[in-house]
Chain A
Amino acid sequence: MAIVGKTSSSRSFRVSRNMLTALMVLFILYSFAPIVYVLLSSTKSNADLFTTFGFWFGNSFALWDNLQLVFAYQNAIFSTWLWNSFVYSTTIAVGAALLSTWAAYAFSKYEFRGKKAIFAVVLGAVMIPQTALVVPLFLLVTSMGLVNTPWAFILPSMVSPFGVYLMKSYIDESVPSELIDAARVDGASEFRIFWSIAFRLMAPGFSTVVLLNFVWSWNNYFLPLVVLSSSNTLPVTVGLAQWYKLGGGAGGAILYSIVLTGAVVSIVPVVILFLFMQRYWLGGLTTGSVKA
């Protein structure tokens, strides 16, 4: 698609193109600078952090030493945090996607009493800020005896009204009702129809919801901060933030390299997911909002 009234052969087109590309390069520099900075910093010794320029390598290449420091600090708690993040995010992602998909399937392919009202309530919940719920959630999981256990973070996170909304629009489009009726005539049970016919057709949408929920829970901070307290239950975001806040005080200088290198390690999984599954990711984020 060319811009109105200009063709790629005209001089003004080439001038505009170069100017716009230059502008985009500026924005890309802005986008990449912090990431480049943290990558470079993770290769520096603590002394180099203070004495060498932030956007270039230091005098020594200390990445391996830093990694060893990160993973050894405080009885190797960092690997526990990483593992926690992985387990929590995977459980939440798969759980939330299954719950959302089942619910969305009911909303999309069945008629039942109260359907419109329930769907309206679920849709309205998309607008509820999670933070308004954190204090009562904390008291609730405390009274249930779940506080400071993984479930206190996992169970509430599995409720994803946005996932339901996303899956419903996906199922509406990708699973034809005629196919379900045909399977019924053939005598297939409702659950068999779901698993062996409908679910296969909605698999791409399902993967998107898994991916989005994985990233959201990996990146979540407020809820785990509140409901998890003992060090060995924390996800990596909360743990690393704790180290960072320690480092802010006096005598915390040794923590600089550790936190910077820890930051690199903790974003690697999400960035890898991002690069390899960008199609699902972008698709999921845009489905909901473009249609509205």
Chain B
Amino acid sequence: MTDISARPLRPARRRSSKWAQKLAPYFFLAPFLVLFIVFLVVPLFYALQLSFFRETMVGGIRFVGLDNYGKALTDQKFWDGVLLLLRYGLFQLPVMLGAALLLALILDSGMLWARAFFRLGLFLPYAVPTVIAALIWGYLYGPSFGPMTQIADYFGLPRPDLFNANTMLYAIANISIWEHVGYFMIIYFAALQAIPADFEEAAVVSGARAWQYVIYVKLPLIRGTILVTVIFATIGALQLFAEPYLLEALAPAVITSSYTPNIYAYNLAFVNQDYNYSAAISFVLGAVVAVVSYVFQLVSARREGK
């Protein structure tokens, strides 16, 4: 009895479960995809659209094609910001990533006392919000009661001036290095730990020295990871905003409303209410990020190919 009634049910059930299997991924994907489209894809195209228009006193909003981009190309303020980012990146990236790599190699060498403590301790600043880090360092640098000034006074040395046009860049870079060096160290360390021990034995047998083993074996093996970190760090550097935006309170003459392209875009939009030009600036910046990461990937793909 049960056999007979159960049998015709089976194929029907199978068919329904096949359908369920076909539909299920769309249900799982839908919530993410909806928000992804609304809050990421739409704003992206909206920004592109905005950048093609301009709001004028008379005549309202009108289509101006690439005019905003043309304006950006000849805008001294924008280029000063770009130039500043370039100087910033050329200092901050090598120092931060170099230090992170050095620290990771030391951790990985197995020659350290209290390795777990160092790993955790160096990573700790990453837990501090950027804004809080910036304001703590702001106080540390500060001329009124900052410890650096106190130490200089104690030894009768000239007070360090970290807020002039030349030094500010390094003061900002230091905050960002302090925050992120441990993060990149952790990433390098994990990659180094994944290198099989056989490589080291082979190096010992062939009589390699420690530094030779590092340069000719370890570093080439983690090249992919290094590339990813360079991309991440470049994207981060191009977006520089919070640190200078906070320090502006201490040095308003140095940190202008167009100090970095990001601060410029922010001020254009929320102080000048010029959303169209601001969108163009943001878009140029975003395009630079995309090109930079694409070129890095292309270069690495070509290298892997050889």
Interface residues of A (CB under 8 A from B): 1-6, 13, 16-17, 20-21, 23-24, 27-28, 30-35, 37-38, 41, 49-50, 53-55, 98-100, 102-103, 105-107, 110-112, 115, 118, 122, 125, 127-140, 155-156, 158-159, 161, 164, 184, 187, 189-191, 194, 215, 218-219, 221-222, 226, 237-238, 240-241, 244-245, 247-249, 256, 259-260, 263, 266-267, 270-271, 273-274, 278, 282, 285-286, 289-290, 292
Residues 23-34 of chain B, each 1 if its beta carbon lies under 8 Å from chain A, else 0: 011111101110
Question: CA of A115 to CA of B275 in the docked complex: distance in angstroms?
Answer: 35
Given contact pairs A53-B147, A159-B36, A221-B131, A247 touches B31 in the complex (Cβ within 8 A): no
The interface-forming segment of B56-64, B90-98, B277-285 is B277-285
- Taking a contact as CB atoms under 8 Å apart, the answer to whether A248 and B250 are in contact is yes
- Taking a contact as CB atoms under 8 Å apart, the answer to whether A118 and B33 are in contact is yes
Question: CA of A122 to CA of B110 in the docked complex: distance in angstroms?
Answer: 39
Question: CA of A20 to CA of B112 in the docked complex: distance in angstroms?
Answer: 7
Which residue of A23, A161, A245 is within 8 Å of B106 (Cβ)?
A: A23
Interface residues of B (CB under 8 A from A): 13, 17, 20-22, 24-29, 31-33, 35-36, 38-40, 42-44, 46-47, 50, 99, 103, 106, 108-114, 118, 120-125, 127-133, 135-140, 144-147, 150, 178, 182-183, 186-187, 190-191, 194, 197, 200, 203-204, 207-210, 213, 224-225, 227-229, 231-232, 235, 238-239, 241-242, 246, 248-250, 262, 265-266, 269-270, 275, 278-279, 282-283, 285-286, 289-290, 293
- Taking a contact as CB atoms under 8 Å apart, the answer to whether B265 and A135 are in contact is yes
Residue of A nearest to B238 (CB): A129
Q: Residues of B contacting A156 with CB < 8 Å?
A: 35, 39-40
- Taking a contact as CB atoms under 8 Å apart, the answer to whether A4 and B204 are in contact is yes
Which residue of B112, B145, B183, B278 is within 8 Å of A49 (Cβ)?
A: B145
- Taking a contact as CB atoms under 8 Å apart, the answer to whether B285 and A240 are in contact is no
Q: Residues of A contacting B279 with CB < 8 Å?
A: 135-136
Residue of B nearest to A12 (CB): B210
- Taking a contact as CB atoms under 8 Å apart, the answer to whether A6 and B210 are in contact is yes
Given contact pairs A129-B239, A219-B130, A289 touches B225 in the complex (Cβ within 8 A): yes
Question: CA of A187 to CA of B6 in the docked complex: distance in angstroms?
Answer: 14
Question: CA of A20 to CA of B110 in the docked complex: distance in angstroms?
Answer: 10
Question: CA of A112 to CA of B132 in the docked complex: distance in angstroms?
Answer: 45
- Taking a contact as CB atoms under 8 Å apart, the answer to whether B128 and A99 are in contact is no
- Taking a contact as CB atoms under 8 Å apart, the answer to whether B29 and A270 are in contact is no
Given contact pairs A28-B118, A135-B275, A190-B20, A270 touches B128 in the complex (Cβ within 8 A): yes
- Taking a contact as CB atoms under 8 Å apart, the answer to whether B127 and A106 are in contact is no
- Taking a contact as CB atoms under 8 Å apart, the answer to whether A17 and B17 are in contact is no
Distance in angstroms from A276 CB to nearest chain B CB is: 12
Which residue of B35, B111, B129 is within 8 Å of A155 (Cβ)?
A: B35
Q: Residues of A contacting B132 with CB < 8 Å?
A: 237, 240, 263, 266-267
Question: CA of A140 to CA of B124 in the docked complex: distance in angstroms?
Answer: 36
Which residue of B24, B46, B190, B191 is within 8 Å of A110 (Cβ)?
A: B24
Question: CA of A140 to CA of B283 in the docked complex: distance in angstroms?
Answer: 16
- Taking a contact as CB atoms under 8 Å apart, the answer to whether B246 and A244 are in contact is yes
Question: CA of A156 to CA of B269 in the docked complex: distance in angstroms?
Answer: 19
Which residue of A23, A54, A161 is within 8 Å of B146 (Cβ)?
A: A54
- Further contacts, 8 of them, CB under 8 A, given A28-B118, A136-B46, A222-B242: A4-B204, A34-B137, A37-B136, A118-B33, A128-B289, A133-B44, A159-B36, A190-B24
Q: Residues of B contacting A129 with CB < 8 Å?
A: 235, 238-239, 285-286, 289
Q: Residues of B contacting A112 with CB < 8 Å?
A: 22, 25-26
Question: CA of A31 to CA of B186 in the docked complex: distance in angstroms?
Answer: 14
- Taking a contact as CB atoms under 8 Å apart, the answer to whether A53 and B150 are in contact is yes
Question: CA of A159 to CA of B231 in the docked complex: distance in angstroms?
Answer: 21
- Taking a contact as CB atoms under 8 Å apart, the answer to whether B186 and A285 are in contact is yes
Residue of B nearest to A38 (CB): B136
Question: CA of A129 to CA of B108 in the docked complex: distance in angstroms?
Answer: 32
Which residue of A38, A132, A219, A289 is within 8 Å of B187 (Cβ)?
A: A289
- Taking a contact as CB atoms under 8 Å apart, the answer to whether B290 and A127 are in contact is yes
What are 9 A-B pairs at a CB distance below 8 A? A118-B29, A125-B40, A132-B282, A135-B282, A159-B40, A221-B131, A226-B270, A289-B191, A289-B225
